[in-house]
Structure 1
Amino acid sequence: MASLKELRSRIASVQSTQRITSAMKMVAAAKLRKAQQSAEAARPYAERMERMLASLAAGATGANAPKLLAGTGKDDTHLLVVVSSDRGLCGGFNGNLVRSVRNKISDLESAGKTIKLIIIGRKGVSLLRRDHGGKFVEKYEELAKPAPTYEGADLVVTKIMSMFDAGEFDVCTLFYNKFVSALTQEVTPLQLIPFGNAVSDVEDPAAGSDTPYEYEPNEEVILSALLPKNLSVQVFRSMLESFASEQAARMTAMDNATRNAGDMIHSLQITYNRSRQAQITKELIEIISGAEAL
């Protein structure tokens, strides 16, 4: 059994940890409110842009269709863009994301595909480096510090576009955690290139209308200008969603850690009181025994 001094030291240590986790919970909660507002504000714009481009894509199915819409015509090389966090202590946030990416890599490799990875966030780099480090083509750390920016997303898209123009991949898929609530975050894959396959299920805003639409300039010209912008919008949106999910996951994890620390302190306090009472009882018995012996 641990001595009273050791128990006091352990109680003080757990109390110090509890104060840290409680402070981290409050910081994450404060950041979550702003991050949630930013993520929710970005959704309507990104979703509406996808719907508009889907409507345009329906009328641009010819030989002049933009390359981002038509793709390369092959499915041999896949580029996976993974949006993780730069910091830990956020529960299963990064673990669930990396697990989904690993499953996707396994499925593609079993089908004979070539895989390339672009990683956003230090934790994604560290978790995927051992098994798939040879597939890295670029990694971005501290890109979302202190918060995601459109310029940061545009930096990632510039790399994606340069690789696509050079014919280095055929399909690009983005993996990120979508913010659902403070308790729920969903790992979401989103195909960026080719765009046509990614929006096959998107509702056509002109559906149900008999009014024909004419575009000036034509659909191909508009798509050529907007599709690269859409990549930046979707990557920026995923970074905002991921950042909000990270804060929610950290708040939940730190709340659980604070509660567990409280339970541990209570258990240690009971053990300490019992040990102290046993020590006092032992000393009283020794005093009484000594008095009787005299």
Structure 2
Amino acid sequence: MAATITALRRQISSASDLKSVVRVMKASAASAIGQYERSVAALADYARTVELGLSVCLRAVDPAGIHARAPHAGDKARTVHAVVFGSDQGLVGRFNDEVVDYAIAQFASLPVRVWAVGERVHERLLDAGRTPEGVFAVPGSVEQITQLVGQVLQTVPMADSADAGRSQSATLILFYNRPSANSYNPVSQRLLPLDEQWQQTLALQPWPSPQLPEVLSANTQTLRAFIHEHLFVSLFRASAESLASENASRLAAMQRADRNIGELLQDLDATYHRLRQAGIDEELFDVISGFDALAPNSEAGPQA
């Protein structure tokens, strides 16, 4: 009995310590989610500015090119360049599996050159029969996302070209997990070539002020610069949303762990108190039995 109670005490202490660790990890994941969501929100104004600049350039540089045919998913002759964002940290469930499965399903039989963000996504792609062209490190903070975006723009072919942005043969697609109301969902975003309908919408949208803008010189160079910034914004947003989804998955896992540990602690506490009470009752019964055995026999008569 004593050994069992001692073992229960150790289990309760270990479970309590683990619960404290889980709570710290929950707070860390929740804080990280807010950090990445704020970075995406802060990027919205800059993205709007880039879109306004693109709208001016698209009107000034070869307006007929705006209506160039967008790539068709069934065109198997076109090489698709894809970047798959994942996670290199644990406690994220099927985070990497879901985004890779989604990307593989979208690839179909197209000739795809894949770049992985994260070693675990890299290994998962290898298991699926897709050998990545390269692998990038997963950012550990908002400040490191800029470094990742720069590496992608320098490494992935056509990712930093204005001509690729409007060419029919250049295709660049991002695959990542995006936060949702419940947890996250795998999504894809085609960056290159620029979407035909999106270009038309930008070129036709009214300018927000009475003073109309104009491109003074080097129209193509200006367009290239705005396309570069558009790619930067899109890659930054995709990475930040992927990291927010990763922490949302970890937060959900920690919430489940916290709930399970709480239930375990309740069971251990109940078992401990039951055994402790049983031990106290047993000791009381022993005391009463000993008292009865040592007490004088009240029914015996006086001795001669």
Q: Which residue of 2 aligns with 1:157?
A: 153
Alpha-carbon distance between aligned partners in 1 of 2:31 and 2:119, rounded to the nearest angstrom? 23
State the shift of 1:23 in Å. Answer: 1.3
Q: Which residue of 1 aligns with 2:174?
A: 174
TM-score, normalization by structure 1:
0.74
CA contact (8 A) 1:29 1:247 kept: yes
State the shift of 1:163 in Å. Answer: 8.1
Alpha-carbon distance between aligned partners in 1 of 2:125 and 2:18, rounded to the nearest angstrom? 29
State the shift of 1:194 in Å. Answer: 1.5
Alignment of 1:203-218 (within 5 A): 203-204=201-202, 206-207=204-205, 215-217=215-217
Residue-by-residue CA offset, 1:20-50 (whole Å, 9 max, x unaligned):
1111222333334433221210123225534
CA contact (8 A) 2:159 2:172 kept: no
RCO comparison, higher one (Cα < 8 Å, 6+):
1
TM-score, normalization by structure 2:
0.72
- More displaced 10-residue stretch of structure 1: 200-209 or 258-267: 200-209
State the shift of 1:62 in Å. Answer: 5.4
Residue-by-residue CA offset, 1:42-80 (whole Å, 9 max, x unaligned):
1232255346536755764657x8x9x977995443222
Alignment of 1:7-156 (within 5 A): 7-50=8-51, 52-53=53-54, 56-57=57-58, 60=62, 75=76, 76-90=78-92, 94-95=95-96, 98-109=97-108, 112-132=109-129, 134-145=130-141, 147-156=143-152
User: Residues 104 and 243 (structure 1 numbering): CA distance in 2 closer, same or farther, change over 3 Å?
Assistant: closer
Alpha-carbon distance between aligned partners in 1 of 2:103 and 2:32, rounded to the nearest angstrom? 31
Alignment of 1:219-258 (within 5 A): 220-258=220-258
Return 5+ residue gaps in structure 1 as ranges.
none
SS in 1 for 2:112: strand
SS in 2 for 1:264: helix
CA contact (8 A) 1:88 1:123 kept: no
**How large is the Cα RMSD of the aligned pairs?**
4.1
Residue-by-residue CA offset, 1:125-178 (whole Å, 9 max, x unaligned):
34444224x421111124445743323211111111368989xx8522112233
How many equivalent residue pairs?
A: 281
Alpha-carbon distance between aligned partners in 2 of 1:51 and 1:18, rounded to the nearest angstrom? 50
Given residue 10 of structure 1, which amino acid in structure 2 is its aligned partner?
Q
- More displaced 10-residue stretch of structure 1: 31-40 or 262-271: 31-40
State the shift of 1:218 in Å. Answer: 7.3
Identical-residue share of aligned pairs (%):
26
Alpha-carbon distance between aligned partners in 2 of 1:137 and 1:22, rounded to the nearest angstrom? 39
Alpha-carbon distance between aligned partners in 2 of 1:78 and 1:115, rounded to the nearest angstrom? 5
SS in 2 for 1:136: coil
Larger Rg: 2
SS in 2 for 1:148: helix
State the shift of 1:226 in Å. Answer: 2.7
Alpha-carbon distance between aligned partners in 2 of 1:90 and 1:47, rounded to the nearest angstrom? 33
Given residue 83 of structure 1, which amino acid in structure 2 is its aligned partner?
F
CA contact (8 A) 2:83 2:173 kept: yes
State the shift of 1:235 in Å. Answer: 0.9
User: Residues 258 and 137 (structure 1 numbering): CA distance in 2 closer, same or farther, change over 3 Å?
Assistant: same
State the shift of 1:15 in Å. Answer: 0.8
Alpha-carbon distance between aligned partners in 2 of 1:151 and 1:115, rounded to the nearest angstrom? 25
SS in 1 for 2:189: strand
SS in 2 for 1:79: strand
Alpha-carbon distance between aligned partners in 2 of 1:145 and 1:225, rounded to the nearest angstrom? 26
Given residue 116 of structure 1, which amino acid in structure 2 is its aligned partner?
R
